[in-house]
Structure 1
Amino acid sequence: MVQIRHILLRASCVVSPSPFQCRAHRLGPGDDELYQRTTVSIMQKEPGASIMIHGYSTRGFNIDDNKVYGPCALLPPAILQWNVGGHEDISEESVSLFHLLEPRIEMLILGTGSRTERINPKVLALLKKKGIAVEVQDTANACATFNFMMSEGRLVAAGLIPPSVNIAGIRL
């Protein structure tokens, strides 16, 4: 019985001109997008297209004249809401969007609010394993570091949590 099924499958593959219509065909690395990494290529880069943080407050950030409320993830050229409430919510899952990027970022800057806070060692170990350097700072310094790295043209991303107290008096 097994031999008859195998012969029938082979017969249906011979009739079908395309390997994708054949039920017995197995997908290989070159056959399907699922086996390839997703990449983004910028065909035409506009001058001055980098993201810059112009201000922050207890409510959020002013990034290139866009008001972003609450924690955010900066993945140049994208600005995303980041679903963390505070530094204790930074987990392996919440940083997964940073290590899935292609081309890979060189550094992730984490702004933990009004002061520098400790991050779960498992999160730092995961990012190190993925080849991403991590800089953990208070949000004020994280914003300055991010702007400096962007001005140098480095591949950098940031996860920023607004400070609970407006230290520098910079308005949104």
Structure 2
Amino acid sequence: MAIAMSARLLQRSARGFTLFTRTTPAFSSPFQCRAHRLDPTDDELYQRTTVTIMQKEPGASLMIHNYSPTGFTIDNNKVYGPCAVLPPAILQWNVGRHEDITEESVSLFHLLEPRIELLILGTGSRVERINPKVLRLLRSKGIAVEVADTANACATFNFMISERRLVAAGLIPPVVSRALEVPEE
């Protein structure tokens, strides 16, 4: 049947096959007509498209959710002890107290590419003085430094990250406060 149909549409001529120009009412196709258009009743026009995001948005940064004397919770990752937060990485930082923050211990912050704008140092329960040589080194590398207690350092870090700034943090967990304990007799 298909052969008979194609025989009607094609006509043999001396130069090859040509399309039979006369159309028959029994065979009509919407593809032969150039004016074919989709009607609003077609399903394809009114289907809704939905998107489900399986991962975080690329470029999304780390947020510090919790801190305690044992460590930090950063994007559902438990980090024990001092840490260096270099979006998108969280590293253990070999610093126990604010006196241990030396030119060598901050070297990882000025080796980053792209260069960070601000380094936030959380020094534990209180704001502590950092060695002036360390601050001078970081400023010479074009990095601004903010020294704060760990609670304020975490808040500042989260704020700067939400503003999409290039920021890193070196955090020392706060010590356990014994101020409210009642001595036993």
Counterpart CA distance in 1 for 2:61 and 2:91 is: 15
Secondary structure, counterpart of 2:155 in structure 1: helix
Amino acid at match of 1:128: R
Superposition pairs of residues 14-163 of structure 1, within 5 angstroms: 46-47=57-58, 49-163=60-174
Conservation of the 8 A alpha-carbon contact between 1:139 and 1:162: yes
Q: 1:85-110: per-residue Cα shift (whole Å, max 9, x none)? A: 11000000000000000110000000
Q: 1:106-162: per-residue Cα shift (whole Å, max 9, x none)? A: 000000000000000000000000000000000000000000000000000000000
Give the superposition deviation at 1:49: 1.9
Give the superposition deviation at 1:46: 2.5
| Of 141, 164, 172, the match for 2:175 | 164
Taking a change above 3 Å as real, the CA distance of residues 58 and 157 of structure 1, as seen in their structure-2 partners, is same
Q: How many percent of aligned residue pairs carry the same amino acid?
A: 84
Structure 1 alignment gaps of length 5 or more: 1-44, 168-172
Query: Which structure ranks higher in relative contact order (CA pairs < 8 Å, sequence separation ≥ 6)?
Result: 1
Conservation of the 8 A alpha-carbon contact between 1:58 and 1:166: no
Structure 2 alignment gaps of length 5 or more: 1-55, 179-185
Amino acid at match of 2:129: R
Amino acid at match of 1:94: S
Counterpart CA distance in 1 for 2:177 and 2:141 is: 34
Q: 1:62-87: per-residue Cα shift (whole Å, max 9, x none)? A: 00010000000000000000000110
Q: 1:16-41: per-residue Cα shift (whole Å, max 9, x none)? A: xxxxxxxxxxxxxxxxxxxxxxxxxx
Counterpart CA distance in 2 for 1:101 and 1:166 is: 35
Counterpart CA distance in 2 for 1:53 and 1:118 is: 24
Give the superposition deviation at 1:48: 6.7
Amino acid at match of 1:111: G
- Structure 1 length normalisation: TM-score? 0.69
Amino acid at match of 2:116: I
- Structure 2 length normalisation: TM-score? 0.64
User: Which segments of structure 1 move beyond 6 Å, counting only runs of 4 or more?
Assistant: none
The higher radius of gyration belongs to 2
Conservation of the 8 A alpha-carbon contact between 1:57 and 1:166: no
